[in-house]
Amino acid sequence: MMNIPSAQCKEVAKHALKIFGGDLKVQAFYNDTKSVSVDVLTTLDSVHVGVKSIGTIGLSEIPLFTEDGHEFATRVELCAGALTEEIFWEKAIASVAFYVRRHQRAVMPGDVVVDVLSEYVDHPRMPHVYLTIPFMWNDAFFPELGFSSLRINWLQCISIYEEERVFIEKFGGDAFDDLLSEQEINTLDFNRMPVSLPPFMGD
């Protein structure tokens, strides 16, 4: 049974739906102990036919903190694009949300949540989830949502290889984003090849 959404959650859902477009479905996902839930919004055929858009609703109700204990300047929601038949993605996004909620550590573009997809796909080629600035919708502009005294921003989740995770750890998310763009990587392809790393960076 889904909880009655707060005013903030309603605004988050409306904001995401305006960006995503398409036909709306909302599901509640629970953590392993059934003690915490997160709602996940999915719209079908919103970017292209056969592609769905996914977003969390309510993660932004949790404050996040920097390493020195100060509250992070923005609250966060997650989003992703995936092929319609890839039913594991909603569960994976919920798992990333539970990870963020559990640690309450500030997350930002360039961060990686490891081994999320291993929970839902047998021996995935790309087990990790990379967080980046949303680029799939609205000409790569996902506007911030201002709500009461809060700022809410979205991070897009894409799947990555272990060697890409190592590259990001060494050289940062900006360098990885540049490679994705330069090599025109289709991040919707769950069977894509890894990015080609420059020889001096792949060591």
Whether the per-residue pLDDT at 4 is higher than 80: the answer is no
Whether the per-residue pLDDT at 41 is higher than 50: the answer is yes
Distances (CA, A) of 166 to 71, 132, 171, 173: 28, 16, 9, 11
State the pLDDT at residue 163: 96
Domain extents for the chain? 7-182
State the pLDDT at residue 149: 87
96 vs 36, higher pLDDT: 96
d(CA 84, CA 50): 5
Residues 85-120: pLDDT tens digits? 999 999 999 999 999 999 999 999 999 999 999 999
DSSP for 12-77?
A: HHHHHHHHH-SEEEEEEEE-TTSS-EEEEEEEESSSSTTEEEEEEESGGGS--B-TTSPBPSSEEE
Residues 142-175: pLDDT tens digits? 999 998 889 999 999 999 999 999 999 999 999 9
- Closest C-alpha among 107, 94, 17 to residue 58: 94
